[in-house]
Amino acid sequence: MTKQTAIFAGGCFWCMVEPFETLPGIEKVRSGYTGGAMVDPTYDEVAAHITGHTEAVKIWFDDDIVSYESLVELYWQLADPTDAMGQFADRGDTYRPVIFVKDDAQRQIAEASKQALASSGRFDQPIVTTIEDAKPFYDAEEEHQQFYKKNPLREMMMMMPRKRYQHKYWSDKEDANNGKA
């Protein structure tokens, strides 16, 4: 088993955990904050836009079972890559879409995937998701971990805009990369 990590920001971290966590090969997914300068920020500080951090998820995975490339492909289906200042109902820099890469190999995969998505014609607007070097990741408070299990009705309501996005951009169009709808 080769353990790896990946960090993705795509709006509210509550909505990013379950899709990754339920994949085979995923060891753990944690909600947290990254990309800013403040050490050990709190939810309230991040929400107040004073830390420079973005809500994100950190994923520990076995790359013998699930590849980083597969995680990036799933990420595109979870976060609107054309919206630089938020995701769905969540607005502001703390919800911006970012792929945080830990090394050159992840950067190459993320950049190639982003270019393929931009060339696919799937979106009418430019792909604005940034690819940035990973910075320290700070776990969110325990109340924010596994939110979909603790608050399933609220989670379901929060996921509705993402589900509409997925249906609009991923269910009805042919994927230029693999020919599947």
Show the domains of the chain with their CATH numbers: 3-178 (3.30.1060.10)
Active site residue 12: yes
| pLDDT tens for each residue of 150-180 | 766 666 666 777 788 888 888 854 443 333 3
Q: How many CB atoms lie within 10 A of CB 21?
A: 17
CA nearest neighbour of 19 among 63, 71, 56, 82: 71
Which whole number is the average pLDDT over 144-150?
73
Question: Considering 12, 29, 78, 79, which one is annotated as catalytic?
Answer: 12
| pLDDT tens for each residue of 47-93 | 999 999 999 999 999 999 999 999 999 999 999 999 998 887 788 88
CA nearest neighbour of 46 among 6, 96, 87: 96
d(CA 34, CA 93): 12
